[in-house]
Amino acid sequence: MARDPKTAEIVAEMVANVMRVVVAPGDRLEAGDTVVLLESMKMEIPVLVEAPGTVTAVKVGEGDVVQEGDVLVTLDL
């Protein structure tokens, strides 16, 4: 029986607005790829993945306000 692939959740590190969502479900990502661009107080914060994986869900949309710890994107590693 195949083991479930490992999954990862990419979370916001701070309260911010979602400026741009760069990925969609199914996208294959390399370490260092940007998934979401956040903005807080005129600071642009690209959120990157630390390991390669495939996007399983995008939990936010452009214009959303996210809180520290909110899940932005989930991945299968």
Partner 1 sequence: MCVGVNVVPVTYDDLRRPPLDALALSRALTRPGSLWRDVEVVPEAPSTNALVAARARAGEAPGLVVLAEHQTAGRGRLGRVWETPAGSALTFSLLVAPDRVPAARWPWLPLLTGLAVAEGVRRVTEVDCALKWPNDVLVGDRKVAGILVERVEHAEGAAAVVGVGLNVSMSAEELPVPTATSLALEGAATTDRTVVVREVLRAFEALYGQWQAEGGDLTRGLHEAYVRRCATIGRTVRVDLPTGEQVHGEASRVDADGRLAVTTDRGTRVLGAGDVVHVRAV
Least CB distance to partner 1 at residue 66 (A): 10
Min CB(2)–partner 1 separation in Å: 33
Q: For the CB of residue 74, give the shortest distance to partner 1 in the complex, in Å.
A: 20
Under the rule (CB under 8 A), what is the footprint of partner 1?
13-17, 19, 32, 39-46, 48, 62-63, 65, 68
| Cβ-Cβ contacts under 8 Å for 55 (sequence gap 6 or more) | 23, 24, 25, 26, 27, 29, 35, 73, 74, 75
Nearer to partner 1, 4 or 30 (CB): 30
3-state DSSP assignment of residue 33: coil
Q: What are 53's strand-pairing partners?
A: 29
